[in-house]
Chains A and B, each alone.
Chain A
Amino acid sequence: DTEVTQTPKHLVMGMTNKKSLKCEQHMGHRAMYWYKQKAKKPPELMFVYSYEKLSINESVPSRFSPECPNSSLLNLHLHALQPEDSALYLCASSPPGGNQPQHFGDGTRLSIL
């Protein structure tokens, strides 16, 4: 069982749609992350939130918009995505600070038509 819950598990959307990915954790972690993972590749960091504030944006296109409403929730708002954005989107959490193990959710498998 994963302690980081992501919804939905699968999402198919058109290029003009707006959708959101959700992530929730109840481990008291104050750092949360979004990663993008393409097939047969390692996870690529997109965003880091620390104490509900955005601390890292890895030059992600503005069609991806993260939000951290509280210490347990992390959202990723999607708008006008491109076919190359099809991937597995992973959320992770950890205690704050560097050098901490990260706990990953099962991910949302996103397909852009």
Chain B
Amino acid sequence: GQQVMQIPQYQHVQEGEDFTTYCNSSTTLSNIQWYKQRPGGHPVFLIQLVKSGEVKKQKRLTFQFGEAKKNSSLHITATQTTDVGTYFCALATGGNTGKLIFGQGTTLQVKP
């Protein structure tokens, strides 16, 4: 079945530094979703990308979908302590099932 690989697994940054997490697939993705899970919390939907080469921004967060629709990235500019958590990419497998396949997640720690 389809899989999506996410790297790195962990990232420790100093507050104010930038952060990027990457998702890669060996097959073409129909779309990709990004979720954030704070420590002790639940996943919260951030964004969905569907178009080749798509770039979307949410304040300090920039999401990209590769031209070949096989990879995606989330970049945070000037991290803050509120950015701490685990960021998951998730592949919606299409059809009408609503099934999501999650990447392994990248856990971000921010040192103040």
Q: Helix, strand, loop or mixed for chain B's interface?
A: loop
Are B97 and A56 neighbours in the complex by a CB distance under 8 Å? yes
8 Å CB interface, B82-108 against A: 88, 92-100, 102-105, 107
Closest chain B CB from A4 CB (angstroms): 8
A106: Cβ under 8 A from any B Cβ: yes
Residues of B with C-beta under 8 A to A99: 30-31, 48, 50, 92, 94
Q: Give 1 or 0 for each of A86-113: 1 = CB within 8 Å of chain B CB.
A: 0000100010111111111111000000
Closest chain B CB from A22 CB (angstroms): 16
Binding-face segment, B11-19, B37-45, B55-63, B65-73? B37-45
Q: Helix, strand, loop or mixed for chain A's interface?
A: loop
- Name which residue of chain B comes closest to A58, CB basis: B99
Residues of A with C-beta under 8 A to B94: 98-99
